Amino acid sequence: MVVGVLALQGSFNEHIAVLKRLGVKNVQIRKPEQLQNVTSLIIPGGESTTMAKLAEYHNLFPALREFVKMGKPVWGTCAGLIFLANKATGQKNGGQELTGGLDCTVHRNFFGSQIQSFETELPIPEIAAKEGGPPSCRAVFIRAPAIIEVGPDVKVLADIPVSSAVTANSSPAIQSEEELTKSEKKVIVAVKQGNLLATAFHPELTADTRWHSYFLKMEPETEDGTSAIASTSSVDLTFTGRAMIDLPIFQ
């Protein structure tokens, strides 16, 4: 297993640090041909417009789309989630290119601007059931997107009440009580659809490695939706608790 990490901009080094701690081989991806040598891919957080411009400059989009289509596991965190979404709102003028594949609509800056970034304890029933450990994880949202619509094949792994985070920050994304009711006062912040995993927050910035090990256990999907060979047999990904000490929580 060799995990590629898109290394154009953003928090790719932080993902690589976690992979190293887990003893997983990794390659920084900056050119399309490098994707041929990896079994899965992480698209990190950062600034999705800048990242998309760099990806375009390096002619990466066709290879990224092909990689997604081949059914290889891909995980997008934050800006990476925006990359994977079939549809994004709140983009800069002129929009930006997306890799697509994930049947959802994402709002690019749902939680507001940079200073409205926040951290929260996020319930993660599916991850805790599969990986063990506590029923929630510390989740860091940095000028974070949120998923406002999902297709039928998308499995929701985590959602968050918007009243506490968004209305307190008076985000421009939520303008009326009616809109809040429509979204049942919750927005989706983590999903899985076949070979695709996406999180609106940054697991690579905390000591909890369960999102990484969950991703590393994901198997490639074949055309008919069944999974192909398991790829993690040589890596021990058992959750060993919070081995590293986290920084204090910023409220």
**Does residue 112 touch ligand GLN according to CB under 6 A?**
no
Residues 61, 66: Cα–Cα separation, whole Å: 8
Shortest approach of ligand GLN to residue 50 CB, angstroms? 8
Site string for ligand GLN, 28-47 (x = CB under 6 A): -----------------xxx
Nearer to ligand GLN, 190 or 237 (CB): 190
Q: Which of 55, 78, 106, 148 binds ligand GLN (CB under 6 A)?
A: 78
108 marked among binding-site residues: yes
48 marked among binding-site residues: yes
15 is annotated as an active-site residue:
no
Residues 184, 119: Cα–Cα separation, whole Å: 21
Q: In 118-186, which ranges are continuous DSSP H helix?
A: 125-131, 162, 168-169, 177-182
231 marked among binding-site residues: no
Strands 136-141 and 74-77: unpaired
Residues 235, 237: Cα–Cα separation, whole Å: 6
> Angle of helix 61-69 relative to helix 48-57, nearest 10 degrees?
100
Shortest approach of ligand GLN to residue 17 CB, angstroms? 17
Three-state SS for 41-64 is EEECCCCHHHHHHHHHHCCCHHHH
* CA–CA–CA angle 226, 27, 203 (5° rounding): 70
Which stretch in 21-29, 74-82, 158-166, 176-184 sits in contact with ligand GLN by CB under 6 A? 74-82
45 marked among binding-site residues: no
Q: Which residues are annotated as a binding site for L-glutamine?
A: 46-48, 108, 142-143
List the catalytic residues.
78, 202, 204
Residues that bind ligand GLN (CB under 6 A): 45-48, 78-79, 82, 108-109, 142-145
